[in-house]
Amino acid sequence: MIPPNILMIMTDQQRRDTLGVYGCDWIPTPNLDRLGDAGAVFECCTVDNPICTPSRASILTGKPVPGHGVLRVHDNLPLDETLFTERLRQEAGYRTALFGKLHVSSRVQEADHRHPHDGFDIYEWCLEPSVAMQSPFNGYTAWLRETGPDFLAALQRNGRRELHHPEDLHMSRWAADRTIAFIQSMQAERKPFFCLMSLFDPHDPYEDYPSTFRHRIDAAKIADPVVSRTTQPECVQREQQGSYLGRFTDFSPEEIRKIRIGYAVSIAFLDEQIGRVLTALDDAGLTKDTLVIFMSDHGDQLGDHGLFVKGAALYEPTVGVPLLLRWPSHLAAGTRCTALAQGRDVAATCLAAAGLDTQSCPESEDLVAMASQNATKRSSAICAYRNSGVNDSGSLWDPSMQATMARDQRFKLTLYTSDGSSQREFFDLQTDPRETVNLSGDPTYAAIELMLLNDITSFLHYEAATAIPRATSSIPNATQRLQNRIK
């Protein structure tokens, strides 16, 4: 029996509340909404880390952050780690393809070197439109040489300052075109495929969207940023003052609204490209035999809580991402799963669908089974920030900042530590979904806060046990051992 095809579509920096299936009314996402309605919508998916590289390393290896060791944005995935795509290719005979961003290692590393166990037969890599354009792996640049040399020259000349990329030359359009061509090429094959269509949008700087799509967004529907009603931890305040996007107080309300508009237009455009891909899957007669996974690697604050983009502050706009699965005859249409999913669960899901064991990622769970049973083995979802991002100077934070979050279906605790001190934020997500009132220390919730703190402590113990020893060892052999017994 041939295992299912797997089409994985991943966006970059897309928060959960930006799809209609999650209640969004200010961004039109009809194609992703239909995808969710036809399968399972996960209402509580938490990323393992709020920064691209560590999060993607978890998604592609199936391991929590300590398990693969990629802690920061510029870290490189160790050479002995294996992406689950390698197992699909070697053990289950899948034809594998990447179109777009991988980013399980630093951008500098990936521009020049493929990971030896990335597992892709077809590797058309592109981190973002105007970065590492000289890389021999950059499929988007190669495509533009043939389809849009004038636009390519403009990108090379202006970089991120080249705004409003044309629809037919946009990176999201390229990734969709290449994915469609790959699906069509596999139509007559008697072997399954895995395809990762990995988009850069809606990542900052927010203005690469086609200007022809601007009318799709009604700016009047865009809500104002969330304002916290209690004093925030020192780590959060440092992010507000030193975000790589700029200091929050330096932005006017109009400038923040402009950011939100660009973010929304990018999502509307990528939704249309995803719709084209899903139509191609239908036209090829492969929908019934294909598991489709849609998710993002982390979210974006968009001004909420006085913050931009992502970082040490582990609020839901950053750590909560959309996760949709469709697999006809295996997942009932209209399934709403409230179990605690995590980014790393994608690995076990794909391996299990292919009929492979999941021993390489024991802390990753099968999302198909999770959705069918609306249950998970974990008591809480954990997100761990380990001085993972950079500040406004492009450097790692000094003193370093650590944040560890644990949440169940209702409550959420984050422990922030920096320079020898620690602070907590504790929220009731049912009564305060926007996380505006810190309940840490409130005796009414003391037992629940302690329970989540115990989960954080257990994770910290696991992290310490997983850490690679820095010291070498010289173990005495049989002739060098001392006789210590005195009785």
With a cut of 90, say whether residue 484 has pLDDT above it. no
Is residue 96 classed as helix, strand or coil in its secondary structure?
strand
Domain containing residue 158: CATH number: 3.40.720.10
Instruction: Quick: pLDDT tens for 169-214.
Output: 999 999 999 999 999 999 988 899 999 999 999 999 999 999 999 9
457 CB-near residues (< 8 Å, 6+ apart): none
CA neighbor of 400 nearest in space, from 414, 392, 410, 390: 390
Give per-residue pLDDT as tens, 212-256: 999 999 989 999 999 999 999 999 999 999 999 999 999 999 999
* Residue 444 located in a structural domain: no
Residue at 203 is within a domain: yes
- The pLDDT value given to residue 216: 95
C-alpha to C-alpha distance for 341 and 117, rounded to whole angstroms: 26
Residue that has been written with the tokens 């988007």 in this structure: 140
Let me know: does 65 contact 384? Beta carbons within 8 Å. Answer: yes
CA distance 291 to 326: 6
DSSP state of 431: T
Statement: residue 382 has pLDDT above 80: yes
Residue 261 lies in a domain: yes
Structure tokens at 94: 């899948």
423 belongs to a structural domain: no
Residue 468 pLDDT > 80, yes or no? no
Number of domains observed in the structure of the chain = 1
The domain containing residue 271 runs over which residues?
5-382
Give domain status of residue 450, yes or no: no
Are the CB atoms for 109 and 76 separated by under 8 Å? yes
| Residue labelled with tokens 């000349």 | 157
Residue with tokens 């925030």: 232
Query: How sure is the predictor about 476, in pLDDT bands with cuts at 50, 70 and 90?
Result: confident
Average pLDDT over residues 8-35: 98
- What pTM was estimated for this model as a whole? 0.96
Residue 449 lies in a domain: no
Q: Is the pLDDT of residue 67 over 90?
A: yes
Contact present, 130 and 230 (Cβ < 8 Å): no
Mean pLDDT of 331-344: 98
Residue 471 counted as domain residue: no
Band the pLDDT of 308: cuts 50, 70, 90: very high
The predicted pLDDT at position 474 comes to: 74
Confirm whether 389 is domain-assigned.
no
